[in-house]
Amino acid sequence: MKTFRIGGVHPAENKLSAAEPIKVAELPKVAVFPMGQHIGAPALPCVQKGDKVKVGTQIGTPMEKALSTSIFSSVSGTVLKVDTVVDASGYKKPAVYISVEGDEWEESIDRSDTLVTLKEKPELTPEAIIEKVKNAGIVGMGGACFPTHVKLMPPPQFKPEWVIINAVECEPYLTADHRLMLEKADQVLVGVELLMKAAKVNKGFIGIEENKPDAIKLMTEKCAAQHPNIEVVTLKTKYPQGGEKQLIDAVVRRQVPAPPALPVSVGAIIQNVGTAYAVYEAVMKNKPLFERIVTVTGKELKQPSNFLTRMGTPMSQLIEACGGLPDGDVKVIGGGPMMGKALVNIEVPICKGSSGVLIMSGDDVRRGEEQPCIRCAKCVSACPMGLEPYLLATCSGKKMWDKVEAEDITSCIECGSCQFTCPSNRPLLDLIRLGKTTVMTNIRARQMAAKK
Amino acid sequence: MNKLVVSLSPHVHSGDSVQKNMYWVCIALVPALICSFISFGVGAIITTAISVASCVFFEWAINKFMLKNPKCTICDGSAILTGILLAFNMPSNIQPWIIIVGALFAIGVVKMTFGGLGCNLFNPALAGRAFLLISFPVQMTTWPTPGQGFGTYLDATTGATPLSVMKAAFKSGNPEMLNELPPFQDMLLGNTGGCLGEVCAAALILGFIILLVKKVVTWHIPVSILVTVAVFSGLLNLANPVYANPLAELMSGGLLLGAIFMATDYVTSPMSKNGQLIYGVAIGFLTVVIRAYGAYPEGMSFAILIMNAFVPLINNKFKPKRFGEVPAKK
Amino acid sequence: MDFQVILIAVIALAVLGFVLALLLFVVSKRFAVKEDPRIGQVLEVLPGANCGGCGFPGCGGMAAACVKAADAGSLEGLNCPVGGAECMEQIAGILGMEVAAAAPKLAIVRCNGTCEKRPHVLSYDGVMSCRVANSTCMGETLCSYGCLGCGDCVAACQFDALHMNAKTGLPEVDAEKCTACGACQKACPRGIMEVRTVSGANKDAFVVTCMNMDKGAEAMKICASSCIACKKCQNACGSDAVHVGNNVAYINPEACVLCGACFEACPRGAIASVSIKGVERKDTHNAIPGAAKPAAKAAPAAGAAASAASAAPAKPAKEWKPIEVKYDAPLMPSQQILLAGPKDISNPVPATKEVQFEAKRTDAPLPPSQLILLGLK
């Protein structure tokens, strides 16, 4: 079975909600839309207090001359205020508050369920697809939120050969992508075809971990029947298989060089399976990105579920729908347990990258006691990028920025495998992140000084 | 309402701990301990017990009275492990006070002076053995013969060991003397003279399998040492039959104990796979050289200690293979 | 005992020693590095702390810079904060120059969000480093600008002048030991530590101990001692030294005449009176956010209004040259890097003493063996 060649760990899978069909979440009373839901410059609000909006109305425009994209309202109602909200970063960020009234959609959106295939739309050129993707505000739905239209237009010196769909979902607990494939397989596959057409490639792969046999079976059958140029690849269940570079290594056996090299330099464009679905809806149904599937789960949660949620819904509403927070010490994580962010309150709204809400409780909440490094080198074996986490962490803690830069700290993908395996419970990734941000700031400052 | 807990990712842990690793190594040593009891009697148990007790006591005392450390470190299992390994490096008829001196050196000088757990440059048990070998050469090099009954301790009769036979053969230049080597079954099952933990090859190999299954060690260091010793001693044996054959070299003396339990010590071994292979090859090479040409019959402990000193250099030079590395440029 | 053998050994060693000494002498003369002798003289006078507070790499760098500046004509702009005025006078004497006395400076903690006044609503379970905590979230309280209490500043101070007060959760500056080297300012990720000009041997100053830039209503809900930008201080000031910008007040040390009007006027107790004896605050009994009932606050507010009208007795006149008024708060270290370049921050302050803060800190000095094992020595 295919897998990536360096490192990796196997956390307990805990896919508690894998068998739960997708439920439609209730509409919130007030929807909050942070302007910064993607990598790059935050959007600029284009509505003000008192404006009436419908579902699908644009409320944020991309910032000019920057990496940015639009934000669309997922509810209909009146704009309450343009203020700040505490988002997943733990700080207050600009946001639009909308008071929800009814559920009126923009007329341009096609709400029917009929499948629209590429054959029925021969007039779609790659440029037209990319334009529609851009205007729908689509970003990577795996959590990183990189604007998709930019990824589909690589620099001219790179010629992509494949589109690889990331349906791996290697993070424990999360099952949103799994359910999406089981319930919306046809639409996902048309979305993949659209992405392949936009990127001007002839071959597509869908990487799925072998702990999702029903999804593998279903997608393989459908591809064999209707989409012969898409191949489903079964991958060994190992974290972080869902990382871009690891996925390319496993599926096509090519390793992306260290930053600033991009995956497209080895010929691959990676998109999350949720992004493929969003692309289908945007191009074929004129539906901008304003809702997504969110897994709400946790060992002590009464009813772990997968919700089709409108963005802007506060997480507290979804948690209540699953039975509420458990007693005792609790950690609420936006995303999965390996790379997700611990949230500072439960009113944080669902954003484009919110793949899951994980409630950790009991013994899982606090870290173990830290002991000195015993030089066991388990972190070195675990690191999927071939780095030496013990060295990077200790040197970052001692502020030796030049040394960590020489040890390739910028290649770190912050997957957390090192801290996961460390028998001494050392906070390796906390310190490596510190070193990585400082080194990247230094590099940028050097580049800016050189330009002068 | 309880406060929400915040921290940076990752928010889960594998559950691995220092204690788990140390205790699994101790469990992997239990077969060898049982064999040593069968071969050498109650002396084996007493030696091991005194060694473990003194190592733990010295670590506790140094932590409490000299370092004034509020945390008690004896529970992490490393002192117990050092105690067992130190005992395994001594003959069963050694006087108790020598064991205690050795424990004081191993824990006090080699481990705690350098900074405690994770900071020692040399393997404490091996450095303790080397110290005792140099300070008390007679007591450390008279080994009881096996199978004298369970009650033997200080009054055991001593005799030759496989390594002393090989050394004598080489010195005299007479390959016929190698016929005095015990048969392979004896070396496998612990029916030869030697230090406590060295004699029973089968028990040590069983311990190795336990360590591999529990993912406490990886195969790189032990296999590279054993393969190097086999190949190098095989070449020597082909060139001149006065050198012992590879299988005898592999199963005699402290080679298996050193390769499986000493050289794989976390703190004093290299951090990358390539580094570990180089480390193993060098240890194997040095062991054969010291055994053949050195003054002492046993070369393993010195070989490992020498290579411990080279580990920082190995770590610097042999980095793990980076993802996406373009081999030609760098 | 063969006397001859001993004699031969002694003579042989003596000859060897003599030959080698001769060799060393010749080489040291032949390959001597010509250095200006004044650099050595200045280096003698400097304190030798190598703290970098002068802006140069170590005392050696400062000595070289002083000699170079003396040749250029003036020692303007050069100051050793540790050695102080006497040290600069001695250097001036050696180099035959005049030196203007620099204004005394002191490190100030611009946050008064104690554990009591600023309720903790979260539990932080990560590395005890302010920089890491800052990147995780706003901290254990609701204030995204306030002190995180993990002690990066305390660890950075080499002069034992900063200590964490366990009861309040804030660092405290020992004004007598502080040399204003600026290490704490560089270490704080939120720009709370400020090295600012103070007055006289008593190191007097009035400082706004709040950095919170949220609107007044928000700031009140977060901390009982926050600045709510009510502008009472700005109105009370007769020297145009206090300005409110970005919802927070700032006192310009160059313009302040130490009259204390703002101190009396502030209804929140957000302005502190700093001196060599310590930091004094007005207890304004503001309601603690989230507490059961607001504490009585009628009397102090009336008293503050009354005393603001009649100015307090004038403090001694300022002793430093007035410069252009700036009311922007200093840049945070991350902003400084982006604008100035990497060398400002990548100069690690060498640790010359044991860190006595919590054992959990990961920048406690490593034993030499760990450094060897890591290939760092």
Residue A378 identity (one-letter amino acid): K
Q: What is the DSSP string of A131-176?
A: HHHHHTT-B-TTTT--BHHHHTS--TT----EEEEE----STT--H
Nearest to A415 by CA among A428, A425, A400, A406: A428
Distances (CA, A) of A415 to A170, A228, A333, A421, B163: 11, 34, 15, 12, 50
Q: Does some domain include residue B57?
A: yes
Q: How far is C343 from chain A (nearest CA, A)?
A: 9
- CA angle centred on A39, ends A35 and A44, rounded to 5°: 25
**Rounded Cα gap, residues B65 and A215, in angstroms:** 62
Q: Taking a C-beta distance cutoff of 8 angstroms, is the pair C329, C191 a contact?
A: yes
Q: Does some domain include residue B207?
A: no
Q: Is A239 on the interface with B (CB under 8 A)?
A: no
Q: Report pLDDT digits (tens) over A263-282.
A: 999 999 999 999 999 999 99
DSSP-derived 3-state class of residue B50: helix
Q: How far is C165 from chain B (nearest CA, A)?
A: 21
For residues C339 and A168, which has the higher predicted lDDT (pLDDT)?
A168
Q: What is the DSSP string of B285-324?
A: HHHHHHHHHSSSS--HHHHHHHHHHHHHHHHHH-PPPPTT
**Total domains present in chain B:** 1
Lowest mean pLDDT among A316-330, B315-329, C233-247: B315-329
**Per-residue pLDDT at C375:** 63
Average pLDDT, stretch B3-12?
A: 88
Chain C adjacent subunits, 3+ CB pairs under 8 A: A, B
Q: Which two tokens stand for residue C226?
A: 């926050």
Q: Is C360 on the interface with A (CB under 8 A)?
A: yes
Q: Which two tokens stand for residue A417?
A: 């495998």
**C234-242 contacts, C-beta under 8 A, 24 or more apart:** C234/C262, C235/C265, C236/C261, C236/C262, C236/C264, C236/C265, C236/C308, C237/C261, C237/C262, C238/C311, C240/C325, C242/C208
Residues whose CB falls within 8 Å of the CB of residue A55, separated by 6 or more in sequence, listed in order? A73, A74, A75, A76, A103, A104, A105, A106, A109, A290, A310
Q: Is the pLDDT of residue B162 over 90?
A: no
Q: Which two tokens stand for residue A298?
A: 């946790």
* Rounded percentage of chain B residues whose pLDDT exceeds 70: 98
Q: Taking a C-beta distance cutoff of 8 angstroms, is the pair C266, C232 a contact?
A: yes
Beta strand pairing call for A291-297 and A330-334: unpaired
For residues C351 and A425, which has the higher predicted lDDT (pLDDT)?
A425
Q: Does some domain include residue B170?
A: no
Is omega for the bond preceding A260 within 30 degrees of 0, making it cis?
yes
B18 contact residues in A (CB cutoff 8 A): 371, 374, 423-424
Q: Does some domain include residue B274?
A: no
Buried b vs exposed e over A7-41: b needs ≥16 C-beta within 10 Å? Answer: bbbebebbbbbbebebeebebbebbbbbbbbbbbb
For residues C284 and A303, which has the higher predicted lDDT (pLDDT)?
A303
Q: How many CA atoms lie within 13 A of B257 on its CB side?
A: 31
* Rounded percentage of chain A residues whose pLDDT exceeds 70: 100
Q: Report pLDDT digits (tens) over C353-363.
A: 332 333 334 45
C376 contact residues in A (CB cutoff 8 A): 395, 400, 403
Q: Does some domain include residue B85?
A: yes
**Rounded Cα gap, residues C197 and A48, in angstroms:** 45
For residues C237 and B176, which has the higher predicted lDDT (pLDDT)?
C237
Average pLDDT, stretch B143-170?
A: 79
Q: Does some domain include residue B39?
A: yes
Sign of the alpha-carbon torsion through A142, A144, A149, A151: negative
Q: How far is B72 from chain C (nearest CA, A)?
A: 14
Q: Is the pLDDT of residue C321 over 80?
A: no
**Rounded Cα gap, residues C148 and C141, in angstroms:** 9
Residues whose CB falls within 8 Å of the CB of residue C321, separated by 6 or more in sequence, listed in order? none
Average pLDDT, stretch A92-102?
A: 92
- Could you tell me the residue ranges of all domains in chain C? 37-95, 105-291+299-315
Residues of chain B in Cβ contact (below 8 Å) with chain A: 2, 4-14, 16-18, 20-21, 76, 116-119, 218, 266-273, 319-326
User: Using CB atoms within 10 A of its CB, is residue C166 exposed (0-12), middle (13-18) or buried (19+)?
Assistant: exposed
Q: Which domain holds residue B55?
A: 18-139
Q: Taking a C-beta distance cutoff of 8 angstroms, is the pair B104, B94 a contact?
A: no
A240 contact residues in B (CB cutoff 8 A): none
**Per-residue pLDDT at C306:** 39
Q: Does some domain include residue B146?
A: no
Q: What is the DSSP string of A328-351?
A: SSEEEEES-TTTPEEPS-TTPBP-
Tell me the average pLDDT of chain A: 93
Task: Name the residue facing C138 among A344, A401, A448 (closest C-beta).
Answer: A344
Residues whose CB falls within 8 Å of the CB of residue C179, separated by 6 or more in sequence, listed in order? C51, C53, C81, C82, C84, C159, C161
Is omega for the bond preceding C47 within 30 degrees of 0, making it cis?
no
Q: Which two tokens stand for residue C11?
A: 């003579």
Q: Taking a C-beta distance cutoff of 8 angstroms, is the pair A95, A44 a contact?
A: no
A252 contact residues in B (CB cutoff 8 A): none
Q: Does some domain include residue B58?
A: yes
C128 contact residues in A (CB cutoff 8 A): none
Q: Taking a C-beta distance cutoff of 8 angstroms, is the pair C75, C202 a contact?
A: no
Q: Taking a C-beta distance cutoff of 8 angstroms, is the pair C162, C184 a contact?
A: yes
Q: Is the pLDDT of residue A160 over 90?
A: yes
For C1, the enclosing helix (H) or strand (E) is: none
CB contact under 8 A, C363 and A397: yes
**Per-residue pLDDT at B326:** 60
ipTM of the complex: 0.89
For residues C55 and A178, which has the higher predicted lDDT (pLDDT)?
A178
Q: How confident is the model at residue A448 (pLDDT cuts 50, 70, 90)?
A: confident
**Per-residue pLDDT at B53:** 95
Q: Report pLDDT digits (tens) over B46-103.
A: 999 999 999 999 999 999 898 888 777 888 889 999 999 999 999 988 999 999 999 9
**Rounded Cα gap, residues B106 and B123, in angstroms:** 8
